[in-house]
Amino acid sequence: IVLWPRGTSCCGRCFKRLGGIPLRFVDPKKELVFRQQQRQHLTNAMGRIGRVALVAHILAVMADLSTFDLTDLNQANVNYLSCLSLVAILSLMQIVMTIPEACVPILYTLAAISLMLTTRSRAAFLAGMDVVEAFGSQLSTAIGLCSLSSDAILIGNFACLIVIYFVVLPARAAVSLWCVPFFPLTYLALSVPAPQADGNMA
């Protein structure tokens, strides 16, 4: 098996002591057989993941939609519901399509971004609205209003996504390497306060 870094340079030898990322088999025939087997395993795994994710998402959305007045939606509501729809579409794609391995990280990257935007606070931020103004009428209790700015459910969903991708999904490390820093950076990028025109932070 060809590993990266190869250890031919001084820096490469130092990094190689920490471990290596498998890139391919040295024998081209073994590499071809492995990729054919991997493609089928990946397709089957994505189909199962997509079905479970779609059912769980539909159940969650059905419970959530009861709080919306679909005849009177503001822009924050539209953003929120659009991102929920995008998560459903990405789940459905895993069921009905055979996705090449090289595109799997892109699909899950879009899923990570969509999950981040399915929080009401971020949907309100993108609409330029205050989160209580945008969604406060749907929640009457103090706990409900506090949950508008909480990331507890999001972090749980994000943890599930990371476990599914790096543990359950048989995607090669050579393809998925850039997802290791990207997932936490996605959360940071959409969570760090941004300066506003009036000098406040949002």
Strand ranges (DSSP E) for the chain?
2-4, 21-24
pLDDT digits 0-9 by tens, 116-145: 888 888 888 878 777 777 776 666 555 555
Distances (CA, A) of 114 to 1, 12, 71, 166: 36, 37, 24, 19
pLDDT score, position 199:
45
- pTM score above 0.75: no
pLDDT digits 0-9 by tens, 153-177: 888 888 888 888 888 888 777 777 7
By three-state DSSP, how is residue 7 classified? coil
State the average pLDDT over residues 69-81. Answer: 79
Q: Report whether 151 contacts 36 (CB < 8 A).
A: no
Strands 21-24 and 2-4: antiparallel
* Helix 75-96, helix 28-65: angle, nearest 10: 140
